[in-house]
Chain A
């Protein structure tokens, strides 16, 4: 009996062995050793059910402690991705999870590492996460260079120089309750990244010694990217790590900002590179893209930004008479012209529709003009009036055609009314004549 208890205890800790045992039991069952097998199977099942996972005395003990600093890790670990992969406290902290006393469990001789120092955290996590052979066993597609990338970042460089008030692995990923990036509750899920970074970077008091701005998160929240992310729930919109990098987080330099924006805004970046602005900006040491559009508070661009009137960005550098001034003014006027034409055509088509005419086809065709407008607004990045004209001209033509369609619809309407008037004359005349005929017949 004792042997049986030992056997079941042993087996409950080794699931694979339990499976082997069950198969073995089945074979023995077939060989007709039923009664003995039945009792051992019952006991085994009960034990296996009772201890669903491997024993971890760390969690069993810590979860019962009063001090929240000691019990919280044990509680949070329930949600940790490492736990679901079969890992436990000792896989990071060392020690013996089978030991039942605190001293035995946390015996340095058994490899207990305790709580790592801040400066050691990247290496602590990197123990596994930088080991390609090890990570292959769990998730072959995960990268294993986060630790080395980290030391290229501003955080990593500062940490190496001894600064403790920087972000390390656990600052962003949390510790003990680490979720996968794809988990919406994870602190590094795209919708949560900005808040995670802002924990430090928006805290003016915390960041005082570093003398960098702390208004980035505030500014970002007003941006069109934030609107795409949080309002439209478009996860392809950029958050902090998409422009700054995540493990190698560093603000892009003046010379490379355009490449970062150009990841998505490829057309604008391409046009800018071939424009006269590129050389001018390089010479003046001006950052591409963000000089006009800002870096964090990227507002939805408006037509007011281009041109020569009050509030336009062109006149920040250009003065009356220079080539850029003329080009900016021209491009703005062409865009305004197209907008006016589209508005006029939309107006007349809506009028025709209100009056009962079916104009869904001309309205569809007018969309091509709106496309041309969008295209023109992108092409201004080339600073080339010829390029802008290349799309505005056909756009004006399309808008003109739609306007004509509106005029035709109103003409058709007018034709119908005239036709009605004529028909009514005939109809009323006929009715009158029939009436006279009736009177004539009855006069007889």
Chain B
């Protein structure tokens, strides 16, 4: 505990600082304030800058580049938290569906030989409209909308 001293005006309080100490304190205070302010402003500025991935991938994704999906082939892509399948038919048309088989949730694949979508788990089959046409699957695959933008294929929920 610092003892109080009597001052010129009769009041009591802690002893006054010497001028040099005062300047030092002011200097420290200033730089410290600036540093803390910087530490607050820096994250805010970084926050406002758009991140690499611009949008959440729940309702619309770039599924693939055009070159990655040749005619009569299929490609699995990530759509939100579930897999999707992108198919380019023999006639060159692009189609996209949910890749989760409606029987027991296995991931389906495109079979170029039969030109249908097939599930390896229990031989389930879907046609290119997503309709379940063979095997155990009880329901069709969910159909997604496909658009192209430049050389990117954009898949979004219907």
Asked if A374 and B106 sit within 8 Å, CB to CB, the answer is: yes
Asked if A360 and B29 sit within 8 Å, CB to CB, the answer is: no
A316 interface residue per 8 A CB criterion: no
The stretch among B13-21, B63-71, B143-151 that forms the contact with chain A is B13-21
B129 interface residue per 8 A CB criterion: no
Known: A371-B107, A440-B17, A442-B14. A427 touches B25 (CB 8 A): no
Interface residues on B, range: 20 to 34
Q: Which residues of A contact B103 (CB under 8 A)?
A: 234, 236
* Residue of B whose beta carbon sits closest to that of A436: B25
Asked if B107 and A430 sit within 8 Å, CB to CB, the answer is: no
Q: Which residues of A contact B26 (CB under 8 A)?
A: 437
Q: Which residues of B contact A279 (CB under 8 A)?
A: none
Return the CB mask of B8-49 against A: 1 if under 8 Å, else 0. Answer: 000001111100001001101100110110010000000000
Return the CB mask of A333-358 against B: 1 if under 8 Å, else 0. Answer: 00000000000000000000000000
Chain A CB within 10 Å, residue with most, of B35, B107, B120: B120
Residues of B whose CB lies within 8 Å of any CB of A are 13-17, 22, 25-26, 28-29, 32-33, 35-36, 39, 78, 81, 83, 103-104, 106-107, 120-123, 135-138
18 A-B pairs whose Cβ atoms sit less than 8 Å apart in the complex: A236-B103, A236-B138, A264-B135, A265-B123, A266-B120, A267-B120, A267-B121, A426-B36, A426-B39, A430-B36, A437-B25, A437-B29, A440-B16, A440-B17, A442-B14, A443-B16, A443-B17, A444-B16
Residues of A whose CB lies within 8 Å of any CB of B are 234, 236-237, 263-267, 360, 364-365, 367, 371, 374-375, 378, 423, 426-427, 429-430, 433-434, 436-437, 439-440, 442-444
Q: A264-B136, A265-B122, A443-B17 are in contact. List 15 more A-B contacts (CB 8 A).
A: A236-B122, A236-B136, A236-B137, A236-B138, A237-B136, A364-B78, A378-B120, A426-B39, A433-B28, A436-B25, A440-B17, A443-B13, A443-B14, A443-B15, A444-B16
